[in-house]
């Protein structure tokens, strides 16, 4: 519920900032400074709304990122469009800043969260009588269970490990009802994939995991 409320509040904030910019653009001393102040105002409101609506640290951070990469960037783009008749250079700099923000947003929201990287390490020990293939899963830290999480578990099973260790921090959801639904979905993935290993699957909780 927090995200829709945040989007509504930030839409009003950004729209107001753009309206103020359009009024300021009629003045002869309109400059990039006006655009910068409008962006700062939107960011400040975005931070306040994120702190007020975020259910936890990660939730607050996610909401603020929506404000930064979405609403503040749009405000900068609008300011650049208004400014291009007065100063092509200043407008170009603002446009470049906007493009840079959106490039970071694409990586942060669309690429990195779905980027699965498998790292292989070889360790030697005199205590082992034979090689053991160990798979370690840690820090899913998700508030959604879907194709990516299924893909992670499918890849683990494809490696045919002798032993699976799950090192904690699976879910980032502090609402008990939603957390229960996420756990059910995760268990369903384990069941569908027959998630097991010859020497067993061992799991511990992390600092993000609640005891229930």
132-158 pLDDT, tens digit each: 999 999 888 888 888 889 999 999 999
Token pair of 212 as six digits: 């229930």
Token pair of 154 as six digits: 């499918």
pLDDT of res. 109: 83
pLDDT of res. 111: 87
pLDDT of res. 129: 87
pLDDT of res. 32: 85
Instruction: Give the residue ranges of the chain where pLDDT is below 50.
Output: none
Checking DSSP bridges between strand 163-166 and strand 134-137, what pairing results, if any?
Answer: parallel
pLDDT of res. 212: 62
pLDDT of res. 197: 95
pLDDT of res. 1: 66
SS3 202: strand
pTM of the complete model beyond 0.85: no
């Amino acid at each position: 519920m927090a995200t829709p409320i945040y989007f509504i509040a930030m839409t009003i904030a950004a729209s107001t900032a753009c309206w103020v910019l359009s009024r300021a653009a009629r003045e002869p001393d309109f400059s990039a400074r006006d655009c910068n102040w409008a962006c700062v105002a939107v960011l400040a409101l975005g931070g306040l709304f994120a702190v007020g609506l975020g259910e936890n640290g990660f939730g607050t951070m996610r909401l603020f990122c929506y404000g930064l990469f979405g609403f503040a960037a749009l405000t900068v783009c609008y300011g650049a469009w208004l400014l291009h008749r007065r100063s092509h250079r200043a407008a170009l700099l603002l446009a470049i800043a906007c493009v840079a923000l959106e490039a970071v947003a694409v990586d942060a929201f669309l690429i990195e969260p779905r980027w699965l990287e498998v790292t292989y390490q070889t360790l030697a020990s005199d205590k082992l009588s034979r090689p053991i293939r160990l798979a370690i899963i840690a820090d899913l830290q998700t508030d959604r269970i879907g194709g990516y999480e299924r893909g992670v578990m499918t890849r683990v099973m494809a490696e045919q490990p002798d032993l699976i260790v799950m090192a904690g921090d699976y879910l980032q959801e502090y609402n008990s009802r939603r957390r229960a639904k996420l756990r059910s979905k995760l268990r369903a993935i384990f069941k569908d994939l027959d998630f097991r290993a010859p020497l067993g699957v061992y799991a511990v909780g992390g600092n993000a995991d609640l005891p229930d």
